[in-house]
Amino acid sequence: MKTQIELAKEGIVSEQMKKVAADEGISVEIIKGRVAKGEIVIANHPKRQNQRIVGIGMGLRTKVNASIGTSSDICDIDAEVRKAKAAEEEGADTLMELSAGGDLDAIRRAVLSNTNLPVGNVPLYQAFKETGRKYGDPGKLDPEFLFDLIEKQLDDGISFMAIHCGINRYTIERLRKQGYRYGGLVSKGGTFMVAWMDRTGKENPLYEQFDRVCALMKKYDAVLSLGNGIRAGAIHDSHDRAQMAEMIINCELAETGRNLGCQMMVEGPGHVPLDEIEGNIMLEKRMSGNAPYYVLGPIPMDSGAGYDHVVAAIGAANSTRYGADLICYITPAEHLALPNENDVREGVRITRLAVRVGDIAKYPQRRDNEKYAAMSRRDMRWDDLEKYLMFPDIARKIREDREPENKSTCTMCGDFCAMKKGMEVFKADISPQKKMK
């Protein structure tokens, strides 16, 4: 089976490319050209018949990922299934199943069976958890077990994987020479791989045998998302030497993977102050040859726990504006607890708002929806307004809870309504192009 990038390089338009072109309103020739260059990836698994086909990359609507999964403290398969369904209902584009507690095979398969979204994961989680259960020590991980596990997860239906290939002995040495970090290491898979390398004195097998990783991904035409195991967990660590060393390696590997016929994404950057977001994205795009950028957050401050979904939305809007392609949501529980179903719903909603804000700046030609929303509000056409809102159910509930005496206005202003008075003065002067179609 040929991958999407291999087909595109041969000039072949796949059904998946046609679907992405139709969904995005973009010429299929443009989609094919960008897939061939590795500027667009298509998340799709050949074994999942009803899975949604999602394009990620240059010129496309910025996508939102929702992450779910158990922990050693809270493990409930039914709850994870409910969270997966909630994420899909709220409009997430992709899902990551990141369980680290319980029967990990059963949880993954239950989630895959209960969502149509492309599902991704981090194979190092299960590799280290099962090694720890078997030997009482995750540090006894056998690389052969890891590669076998990657294939098993892919065969189950995983469409994209965050694999920590960019951690090597050179990046670890940067951490030591800079005197570690203010915020420590925050990637679970990445940190356990660092510990394994430190204990064994060996190189990261995912880096050392990168061609083998790509061969497994190609077998299922899965997207290889180059994980950022050395991402900053505090804004004071943003763009330190260790993070940049991994970023450079990941961008090199993105090029190598494309040349091997594998669909590639790069991940980054974690906690980043607002003034550094643009530069971070420019560096990733420049060094990787415009590989799709999967951004975790980013979180532009460290003191917002409890409202980190709002903090991250500010970072996400800016990341989207400057060229990020897939945004991983943050929930209100970030840094505090395992998210529940309500956290998932809130995280998806606010991240969708953030990427809409960023897409409006990134693609000015996509602003018509906002124009029609404004015109409906101007004309006090409340039913029409709902057609253009991202969350009409919420808007309707708020309005119904505080119903105005005059149904054409709202209780914010009542009979002191600026919109109503403005229309009385200027209704005859509205130009044809500024009237509702």
pLDDT at residue 23 is higher than 80: yes
What is the structure's pLDDT at 406?
85
- 419 exposed, middle or buried (CB, 10 Å; 0-12, 13-18, 19+)? middle
Cβ pair 136, 199 in contact under 8 A: no
> Averaged over 13-38, what is the pLDDT?
98
> Averaged over 81-87, what is the pLDDT?
98
Mean pLDDT, rounded, of the chain: 96
Token pair, residue 436, equals 């509702």
* CATH 3.20.20.540, the chain: domain bounds: 4-365
Cβ pair 294, 266 in contact under 8 A: yes
pLDDT band at 437 (very low <50, low <70, confident <90, very high): low
Per-residue b/e over 48-65, b at no fewer than 16 CB within 10 Å?
Answer: beebbbbbbbbebbbbbb
What is the structure's pLDDT at 80?
98
Helices 241-259 + 210-219 axis angle, to 10: 50
Residues 300-332: tens digit of each pLDDT: 999 999 999 999 999 999 999 999 999 999 999
- 177 exposed, middle or buried (CB, 10 Å; 0-12, 13-18, 19+)? exposed
The number of CA neighbours under 13 Å toward the Cβ of 419 is 16
> Averaged over 56-65, what is the pLDDT?
98
What is the structure's pLDDT at 141?
98
Residues 153-184: tens digit of each pLDDT: 999 999 999 999 999 999 999 999 999 999 99
pLDDT at residue 125 is higher than 90: yes
Token pair, residue 239, equals 């763009």
pLDDT at residue 377 is higher than 70: yes
Preceding omega of 269 cis (within 30 degrees of 0): yes
pLDDT band at 356 (very low <50, low <70, confident <90, very high): very high
Residues 126-158: tens digit of each pLDDT: 999 999 999 999 999 999 999 999 999 999 999
Q: What is the CATH code for 4-365?
A: 3.20.20.540
Residue-wise DSSP of 232-289: BSSGGGTT-HHHHHHHHHHHHHHHHHHHTT--EEEEEEEE--GGGHHHHHHHHHHHHT
Residues 215-257: tens digit of each pLDDT: 999 999 999 999 999 999 999 999 999 999 999 999 999 999 9
Cβ pair 226, 166 in contact under 8 A: yes
What is the structure's pLDDT at 372?
95
